[in-house]
């Protein structure tokens, strides 16, 4: 697919996976992808996106008016930016990582896609609480009806779920996630853009 993609398609794909998208996730992902894009596509259905944007913009404006930039920055903009960076990265890393598997249509199965194409991130109990157990992403993909607070229980009770592909917040793992950009069918693994060029 990559070799047959147009220059525009390649540019859009590369832009969507760029680390700056994660770094500015409060604007690019929350405001842009989650709110603005759905609102522009179908305003009647996604009216709540406009409400969310107005609420954030209004709160920032009120805080700025009452206490200046410092109040708005330290009470809302900085915490939301940091939370968005972490949330954006966790979501990205659990769908794009070095050891993930992309099955061909012939080899695809729901079970395999859930357990080999999404990862488990080991987090301490505090981070598990703050992220709603997002680390148990492979189980979430297997059955979205399991509530977030029961995901650890499901993993502990079902042996088949206890050997997932793991990722972490270690710097090397983070770099690997951003470098693992394309699926190489011949090598049966994710590769970087430079590896794909060398292979071509």
Q: Residues 97-129: pLDDT tens digits?
A: 888 888 888 888 888 888 888 889 988 899 999
C-beta of residue 177 within 8 angstroms of C-beta of residue 170: no
Q: Is the pLDDT of residue 199 over 80?
A: no
Six-digit token string for 181: 């950009």
Phi then psi for residue 26, to 5 deg, are -60, -35
22-30 average pLDDT score: 93
By mean pLDDT, which of 41-45, 108-112, 153-157, 187-191 is the weakest? 108-112
Give the long-range contacts of residues 145-154, CB within 8 A, separation 24 or more: 152/128
pLDDT of 200 strictly over 70: no
- Report the pLDDT averaged over residues 145-168: 92
pLDDT of res. 187: 86
How far from 125 is each of 52, 129, 157, 158, 180, CA to CA, in Å?
Answer: 30, 6, 18, 20, 28
């Amino acid at each position: 697919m990559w070799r047959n993609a147009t220059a525009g398609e390649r540019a859009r794909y590369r832009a969507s996976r760029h680390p700056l998208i994660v770094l500015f996730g409060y604007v690019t992902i929350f405001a842009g992808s989650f709110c603005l894009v759905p609102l522009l596509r179908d305003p009647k259905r996604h009216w709540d996106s406009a409400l969310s944007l107005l609420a954030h913009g209004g709160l920032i404006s009120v805080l700025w008016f009452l206490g200046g930039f410092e109040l708005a920055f330290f009470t809302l903009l900085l915490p939301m930016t940091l939370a968005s960076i972490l949330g954006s990265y966790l979501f990205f890393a659990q769908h794009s990582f070095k050891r993930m598997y992309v099955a061909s249509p012939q080899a695809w199965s729901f079970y395999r896609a859930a357990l080999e194409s999404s990862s488990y991130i080991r987090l301490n109990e505090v981070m598990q609480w703050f992220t709603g157990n997002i680390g148990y992403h492979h189980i979430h993909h297997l059955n979205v009806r399991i509530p977030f607070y029961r995901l650890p229980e499901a993993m502990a009770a079902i042996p088949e779920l206890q050997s997932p592909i793991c990722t972490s917040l270690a710097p090397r793992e983070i770099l690997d996630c951003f470098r693992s950009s394309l699926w190489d069918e011949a090598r049966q693994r994710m590769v970087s853009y430079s590896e794909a060029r060398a292979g071509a």
